[in-house]
Amino acid sequence: MSFAIAVSPHGHSQKNTSSVMRLTFIALIPGIAVQCYLFGWGVLFQLGLAILTALVSEAFILRLRNYSVSTALRDSSALLTASLIAVAIPPLLPWWMVVLATAFAIIIAKQLYGGLGQNPFNPAMVGYVLLLVSFPAQMTNWSTPLAIAAERLSPIETASVIFQGQTSKGLTNYQLNKQVDGTTMATPLDYLKTESQRGHAVDSLVASDKFTAVSHDGWRWINLSFLAGGILLFLLRLIPWQTPVAMLGTLAGASALAHYLAPAQFPIPAIELLSGATMLGAFFIITDPVTSSTTPRGRLIFGALVGGMVFMIRHFGGYPDGVAFSVLLCNILVPLIDKYSQSRVYGH
């Protein structure tokens, strides 16, 4: 009887890099769909621009490095990076900004370090932070949900704003981002941070009609849709449970304690969890296998650090949402976390 000799590993998974990236993109679709429903056609324009820029940038660098362009592009990592940038930026942002962020993410944050699997920082968050630091006014000028918007834009008018800076009627991005009552739109976190700095109590702000409109006409459903996508990733066993659970648990615990001690200064945990980029960060950003911890205990530590830092930046920093900064700062600590979270080998 003859026996076939095979090299380990003898257990194989049908999942490869390309399939994981594509499934992760599919899990993003509920969030993209909700954003399109709430904010209009701008989301799809930004998504298309980001994907096109990512593919062109990756192909250009791969050609310079004498790598096979078609083989590398088939892993769909550029597609996922572009999609994460597109859903994180305001829908009516000028076209050249999303191009700049995506090209920077692919060329500098990814390929400069050697390509997929070599980058220490999450490329999508690097591109996003580049825009946030360089153009803070534009990056915080979010579109008004269509339900309370003063103007509803057609696809042609949306393209006009993104590529030319104004509609055919001469309305700019800032003028469009107003509610039916004429007040400028703000995200829930922007609104709470700005008004609390003016001396208003957070608990009274949350109970106001204006905050209810801002909160219920967008961000809660956006976060719930990303939560649904994250649960799908978990059911498909594409992400570990430790990282998102640790992040969300730490953020919820810190906000619950803070609200209990000072309800006039800190909102309830539900607002923290369902505002900003909380669920996007928990399930699609910090679960990146390249830039997050690789050990079970390390993932708990990494997720807890991100959650704690998000809370600190939101309430004591200069930005209303601290997910991107928290992720990049904690990416620095990943090698140290992995080193000290390794299980001890038996006998050593």
What tokens does 201 get? 């109590």
Q: What is the rounded CA–CA span in Å between residue 44 and residue 32?
A: 8
What tokens does 304 get? 């807890």
| C-alpha pair distances (Å), 288 with each of 122, 233, 281 | 8, 12, 10
Question: How confident is the model at residue 210, as a pLDDT?
Answer: 67
Find the Cα–Cα–Cα–Cα dihedral 116, 117, 120, 121, rounded to 10°. 50
Q: How far is C-alpha 300 from the geometric centre of its chain's CA atoms?
A: 20
Question: How confident is the model at residue 348, as a pLDDT?
Answer: 55
Question: How confident is the model at residue 180, as a pLDDT?
Answer: 43
Q: Domain ranges in the chain? A: 15-185, 192-348
Regions of the chain where pLDDT drops below 50: 180-184
Question: How confident is the model at residue 227, as a pLDDT?
Answer: 97
- pTM of the full predicted structure? 0.90
pLDDT digits (tens, 9 = 90+) for 107-151: 999 999 998 889 999 999 999 999 999 999 888 888 777 766 667
3-state helix, strand, coil in the chain (%, to 5): 65, 0, 30
